[in-house]
């Protein structure tokens, strides 16, 4: 019994393949990117601040996001070498769904070590072959915007989805894409 909607002649088979190919290519390509800390998981990792006079203080990532550095301060991210006492946040559900529906999903983090994140993902049963972890080793929002812009242009994505808990990062990405034709969905995680 014929169920495919074409008669089976050479021409119809060709047309059917052509329509399928066109439909596949009409599907918009979306670059799907999540921050890690305080977006997908909350951990007990903190940032050490060393003041000009050598005094040390510690900030959690949420406080650090709003922090205006004073002159001469240095920052140490040594605790971010591991994923300490992770608690999954609600965006983890979307992340997992997107892994199923997308070819590839990206984690874009200011951390500088990829391996602890990949190990954590594998430990919670995520197919890490579909996740690319990009470690910038920088908390400068412009570095996130640079990476997203470069990736979206080089691989010709039609749209970008970006989730991050840092208003500074969201703002930098918004400004960067303002004058482009790409559709950008910015998801400020609160
Ligand atoms: Mg974050």
139 Cα: distance to centroid of ligand 1 (angstroms):
10
- Does 51 share its domain with 129? no
Average pLDDT score over residue span 137-152: 95
176 Cα: distance to centroid of ligand 1 (angstroms):
19
Mean pLDDT of the chain: 88
141 Cα: distance to centroid of ligand 1 (angstroms):
11
pLDDT value at 120 more than 90: yes
The reply to whether 168 falls in a domain is yes
- Does 34 share its domain with 55? no
- Does 108 share its domain with 23? yes
178 Cα: distance to centroid of ligand 1 (angstroms):
22
- Does 35 share its domain with 76? no
The reply to whether 2 falls in a domain is no
The reply to whether 92 falls in a domain is yes
Paired with 183 in beta bridges are 159
Q: Phi, psi at residue 36, to the nearest 5°? A: -105, -70
Tokens 């909350």 sit on residue? 42
Tokens 């601040």 sit on residue? 49
158 Cα: distance to centroid of ligand 1 (angstroms):
25
Q: Phi, psi at residue 75, to the nearest 5°? A: -120, 140
- Does 58 share its domain with 123? no
Confidence (pLDDT) at 144: 97
pLDDT value at 45 more than 80: yes
pLDDT value at 5 more than 70: no
- Does 121 share its domain with 29? yes
Least confident window among 20-24, 56-60, 89-93: 20-24
74 Cα: distance to centroid of ligand 1 (angstroms):
19
Name the domain count of the chain: 2
- Does 66 share its domain with 149? no
Paired with 105 in beta bridges are 131
Confidence (pLDDT) at 3: 41
Structure tokens at 63: 């406080």
Query: pTM of the prediction?
Result: 0.81
Confidence of residue 89 (pLDDT cuts 50, 70, 90): very high
Sequence-ordered list of residues with C-beta below 8 angstroms from that of 32, at least 6 positions apart, any chain: 98, 102, 104, 105, 106, 161
DSSP 74-95: EEE-GGGGS--S-EE-THHHHH
| 126 HSE (CA, 13 A, CB side) | 24
Confidence (pLDDT) at 122: 97
80, 102, 129 - which closes a domain:
80
12 Cα: distance to centroid of ligand 1 (angstroms):
52
The reply to whether 1 falls in a domain is no
């Amino acid at each position: 019994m014929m169920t495919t909607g074409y008669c089976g002649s050479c021409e119809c088979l060709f047309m059917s393949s052509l329509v399928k190919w066109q439909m596949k290519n009409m599907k918009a390509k979306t670059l799907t990117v999540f921050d890690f800390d305080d977006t997908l998981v909350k951990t007990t990792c903190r940032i050490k601040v060393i003041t000009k006079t050598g005094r040390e203080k510690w900030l959690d990532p949420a406080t650090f996001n709003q922090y205006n550095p004073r002159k001469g301060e240095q920052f140490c991210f040594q605790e971010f070498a591991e994923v300490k006492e992770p608690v999954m946040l609600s965006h983890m559900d979307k992340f997992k769904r997107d892994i199923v529906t997308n070819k590839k999903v990206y984690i874009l983090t200011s951390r500088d070590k990829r391996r602890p994140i990949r190990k954590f993902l594998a430990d919670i049963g995520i197919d890490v072959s579909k996740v690319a972890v990009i470690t910038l080793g920088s908390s400068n929002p412009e570095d996130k915007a640079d990476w997203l812009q470069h990736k979206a242009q080089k691989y010709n994505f039609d749209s970008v989805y970006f989730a991050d808990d840092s208003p500074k990062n969201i703002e930098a990405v918004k400004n960067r894409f303002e004058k482009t034709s790409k559709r950008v969905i910015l998801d400020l995680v609160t």
